[in-house]
Every structure is written in C-alpha cells, then in structure tokens.
Structure 1
Amino acid sequence: MQVGITTSSLKLIAFDADDTLWVNEPMYVNVQQQFRTLLMHHVSEETIGARFYEAQMRNLRLFGYGAKGFMLSMIETAIELTEGTITGSEIQQIIDIGKELLAFPIDILDGVQDVLETLSGQYDLMVLTKGDLLDQESKIARSGLGHYFKYVEIVSEKNEPAYQRIIQRYGLQPEEFLMIGNSLRSDILPVVHVGANAIHVPYSVTWAHEQVEKEQLEGKAFLAFERIADVIPVLSRN
C-alpha cells in the first residue's frame, strides 16, 4: 500500500546496506554455484542446493547472518552429503571460496551516492544492517560511504524488537524514523508493524529467506520505488 511520508516529522533515516547501498547477494550466488560444482560428482545439484539451504536455516541461531556462517554451513553440508568422505583438500577449497565473501570489491548501486549526498545535509543518517560485526564494518569501510552516516547499527536480526530498541535508543517516536531497504521481510514489514515509516527499493536478486508471500503485504502501509534515486523528490526538504 502506498502512503505519504511527512518529512517535517522525520529525524532519522536508516539505510539497509547489502543490496540497498551496494551489490551483495550476487556474490553469495556465485560462491554457492562454485560450491555446487565442487560437490556435483557426489550428489545432484538440486540436492546440494536444498540441503545447503536447510543447513543455513538450522544454523542461523548459532552463527547468525554473514560470510562466516555461510562458510561453516557449506562445510557442514559437504560433510553430510559425502557421509564424511570429503577430503581435506576439498574442504580447503570450500574455505577458499568462502573467503571470497570477506574481501570482494564493493560495487555501489546506481543513485546511492546522490541520495546520500542530498539527504545527509538534511537528516541524520544511519546504516542499519544485520550480520557479522567485522564483516559488515569492513564492507562499510571499503564502500567509502561511511562519512555520510552519523550512526552505524549492526544487529543480529532485523525484527520488531530490534527496531523498537533502535527507536527508543535514539529517543525517537516511531513516526520520526524511516527505514529504506530491499528486503520486505527485514527492512519493511517489522518497521511498519512498530508504526514507523518504510520505503522498499527492490533488488534484482533476493535470498529465499528474505522473500515474503504477497498476502503478508496486504494492508501494510509503505512506499515502494524501483530506483533508490526516486526517494529524493519525496524526502528532500529543499
């Protein structure tokens, strides 16, 4: 549902990081394809994908989000699917391709620089992302965008309690907070549920875990744009 945002009430705008500010999910897709190729002589590609996703979901509460948990889930899946016969050399290959996720070049998405340049002079801006602390801090530093943000929050999960804590920590009312992100599950629905503002800017690739059913969006009030640059006319106070 499209709604208006009262800019005079806004005090803090938070941006998701991965696939909102820069390219991320395609890197994970590429590493997962390398992982499948490595194991295809043991089991089918479909089985590898399904079992790996199961391992990721099972391990989220232990490892959280990010490259390190992804790598550990690949190793666990490989051991399970080969019934322990995977070689040390193959495990080393998995570790090596997993490490690619910790240092890939940051590719800023189109329009992001202009949006941050415009809005940083009018609002307090925040990066609000989930995942491994070291990994996310590294990506922010490598992006060269850090100077636009007054605050950085890296959380283990982006759910209603997390957003409520953020709003309370910064002394805000819900209507004074806006979240901009690509994930309906993490960036939009929980924000709407706590009474705050949200803008959805989709990305071309979405992890299955972040997808939601259309029925979950019925009656939910938020804005949606195809490009992040489209937020400027809506949010700019000039």
Structure 2
Amino acid sequence: MNDNEYIHSATSHHKTPPGLIIARGRLKDARKWFEIRGWRLLPHDDRGRAILAWGADHAYLASPTNPKRSIRNWCRSVASWLSKDELEQIVATTIDPCHNKVWTHDQSAAVLEIGVSDREAHQLWFIGADNDPNYEHRLKRKREKNAARAKKSRGKNSSGRNPGRPALQLSGEARLARKRAQDAKRAKELRARKKAAAEQAQSDVAASRKNASRHITEIGSATEFSVTQPHCPSSAERLKRDGADLDP
C-alpha cells in the first residue's frame, strides 16, 4: 500500500468529531453575518475584539491538525488592523490548555448579537439567539414548522375524500329503522354480557362452597401439640449411671 492509498483509507474510515463540524459551521455563519452587516473587517473596538476572541476559539477547534495557523488565518482575515504582538498574544491565549474554548449556541449569538428573527431570516442554524433564553420562540416556531410539514404530507397522501365511512343515502324512515335496529342489537349484547357475568359469579360461589374448609372448632385435634412428660430417674438408676456398685 503506497502513501496515497494509506491516506485515503485512513480518511475514509475516520469519523469527523461533532465539535469540529460545529466550529466550522459557526465560522461560516459568522462570515455570512459579517456580510449582512456590511463588515469587511471587524470594528476596532471592544465588540470587535470580543468577536475576534470568539472566532479564535472556533478556529482552534476547526483545525485540530494545525490550530495555530488556523487562528492566525482567521484573525488576519477579519482583523488586519492587529499588530504582530497582538496576534501572537491571541494565539498564546487561545492555545493555553487552561483556556475554556467551549461556547454554547446562545453564547455565540450573544457575542455576534443575533436574535431569533435574524437566525430564522438568514438561516444561521449553527448559532442560537440572544433574545430567547427559555427557547419559547424557537420551540413555537419548530411546532409551527412540524404542523405545516405534517399538513403537507397529509395533503400529498390524501385521496381527497372526507375521513371516515361515507354517509348512507337513507330516507328519514329508513334512517330511523336502522337506528332502532342498532339500539336493539347493542341492548341485546349488553344483556348477554351481564348474564355471562352473573353466571360466572354464581359458578365462583359454588366452587368456593364445595371446597370449603372445616369449621375452626372441628380442627382442634389437628392443631394439638404432643407433649412428652419428663422422665425422672430413680436413685438406683442415678447411682448406676454414676458407676457405683450396688451388689454386696
């Protein structure tokens, strides 16, 4: 196996970590958001530096093979106003093992200032929302989408007729006669069930009487205990047991 075959075999069986996918997806959504805001570069202020630090953490996670290069490329692409010392300071802070690089969806949205309406309008699915802490709006929107999807599916698979059995075309007298017949049938079935239940109850009572136990006063002999009177040895037996000779 040559080097190319080995690399292809290793990459085809390797599963991409979910954290890497999320990091790359968030960086892509962030660039889309920058274009929507009209930012060619990040603003040179506290907000821009906060976004820069957020992006550096995700650039680190997006390139496990060479995180330093990934961080430098990200910072240079969105903040070319950084000096060399500032860039190296960001790299050193980000690659520090004690530095927390985990961001939730809503924390990312808070840094980028993205709300529910922005997320829905521009399809920023890797980023949450900074104005929906309890997920009320997002869950409501999700239920609406599911209902619309289910309605579309039902309409696609529907035959066009009303649900249930089709109505019978009967006249007034025929409808009344049918109703009476159905009521009589239901009443007959109810009487049959009640009769069967009563017969089963009688059968259970007869079985219990047939196998009834004797009265408690008649089983005294069966519950008496056998008591053996203690045996008291005589004086001769005690002496013989102790080894004494009674013969003259």
Q: TM-score, normalised by structure 1?
A: 0.25
Q: Which structure has greater helix proportion?
A: 2
**Structure of higher CA gyration radius:** 2
Q: Which structure has greater strand proportion?
A: 1
- Higher relative contact order, structure no. (Cα contacts within 8 Å, ≥ 6 residues apart): 1
Q: TM-score, normalised by structure 2?
A: 0.24
